[in-house]
Homo-oligomer: A and B are copies of this chain.
Amino acid sequence: MNDRRREPGQSSGQNSGQISLADIAAEAGVSVSTVSRIANGDLGRASAATVAKVQKLIADRGYRPNPIGRSLRGGDSRLVAMLAPNLDNPAMAAIAASTEAALRAAGYVMILCDTHDRSDLQDEYLRAMRSRFAEGFIVVSAVASPELEASLERGEPIVFVNRRNPYGGGPFIGIDNRQAGADAADHLLTCGVRAPAVIHPADLSSTIRERVEGFLDRLRERRPDMAVRRCDGAGTNHLDCGHAAALRLAADGGWPDGILCPSDLMAYGLFRAAGEQGVRIPEDCRPVGIDDNDLNDWIAPWLSSVKIPYHRFGDAVVASLRDLRAGNSVGEVLLDHRLVRRRSGSSMAGDPA
């Protein structure tokens, strides 16, 4: 017997209690290779007796392959990194939760990184995750950054969510944002809105731009003579930004009777501004959001919003990632959205319908 083998059971010090291949091998009196092969289901390389013995030992001792050793060897790490701009945003939390569940079901572990929408942090995480052998990246609301460009050039598997690849191409999970904007426009017209408006952040992401354009185009198409006011707002987040934009809009021509908020958070910002000025929502000013956070059903009965099925994003992301790693060319996946109408006034007298 090889005298360098450890005694069974007493494992290697700092590795607190984990059973290794060597432990099993020593106890079974076979080599590490044999155990490795059996553990990986290659049963043809050992006698039935050996296979049975080793399998029993694996089960008894609760051996589980160490993913670190595996990754180092160059195999798979079962690690996927998700880069999200901001966990505080309920929409991001919903995407993260659904993706985590889908990845787990597929046998992966998700590492979540909060990039705060900063390209330097995005770069730092891309580097850190690459050297941890992440098998894939899920980038939510990507921003352009040198490391992202480098990753794309190397052909690393990256799935873009919510915002398209700033360098073009690549798999994308999202919705038809132009159509969502158009649906919002239809909704406002149906509600009899005469003087609609739209607010948006000062620096437009592609996502927001598409929503706004879809909205404006549809209005122009259906009501060529209708004037649509447009206003942007400063602020690091959509809440502040919606608030600021609404105040500017009000100061600069009064409140519109209907308004597109291209994200629910902006609608929340507008809601606060309206409260500050005694404007009733939705009676005086009817907002329509895009996102439809789950919380709306509970505490924002005044907000109609285009529901984005964030809870279904996870499966789509994992499917794209799998295709990508299999070498198939993967395109865009646009999931269905639909407008959710809510009609309760601020009076809080719930609409029983």
Contacts and interface: CB of A to CB of B under 8 A. Distances in A.
Contact of A299 (B17, B94, B299): B299
A101 to B, nearest CB: 7
Instruction: Say how many copies of this protein the assembly contains.
Output: 2
Contacts of A66: 131
Interface string A98-115: 001100100001111110
Given A67-B132, A88-B93, A274-B348, A72 B72 contact: yes
Interface residues on A, range: 35 or more
21 contacts: A16-B130, A18-B130, A64-B127, A65-B131, A67-B128, A67-B132, A68-B72, A69-B72, A86-B97, A87-B87, A87-B100, A88-B93, A90-B90, A100-B113, A109-B113, A111-B112, A272-B301, A275-B348, A277-B350, A278-B350, A346-B347
Given A64-B131, A68-B71, A275 B350 contact: yes
Given A274-B348, A347-B346, A131 B299 contact: no
B294 A271 contact: no
Contact of A111 (B64, B109, B277): B109
A123 to B, nearest CB: 12
Contacts of A277: 350
Contacts of A130: 16, 18
Given A156-B16, A271-B299, A348-B274, A97 B114 contact: yes
Given A68-B68, A93-B93, 13 more contacts: A17-B154, A64-B127, A87-B97, A88-B90, A88-B93, A104-B114, A111-B111, A111-B112, A271-B298, A275-B349, A299-B299, A346-B348, A347-B347
A172 interface: no
Contacts of A225: none
A167 B110 CA distance: 28
A17, A97, A281: residue with the most chain B Cβ atoms closer than 10 Å: A97
A295 interface: yes
A104 B101 CA distance: 24
A269 interface: yes
Contacts of A236: none
Contacts of A97: 86-88, 114
Contacts of A349: 275, 278
A154 B275 contact: no
A297 interface: yes
Interface string A49-72: 000000000000000111111011
B278 A298 contact: no
A133 interface: yes
A268 interface: yes
Contacts of A18: 130-131
A272 B297 contact: yes
A156 B277 CA distance: 55
A314 to B, nearest CB: 11
Nearest to A272: B298
A352 interface: yes
Interface in A126-163: 127-128, 130-133, 154, 156
A130 B109 CA distance: 13
A248 interface: no
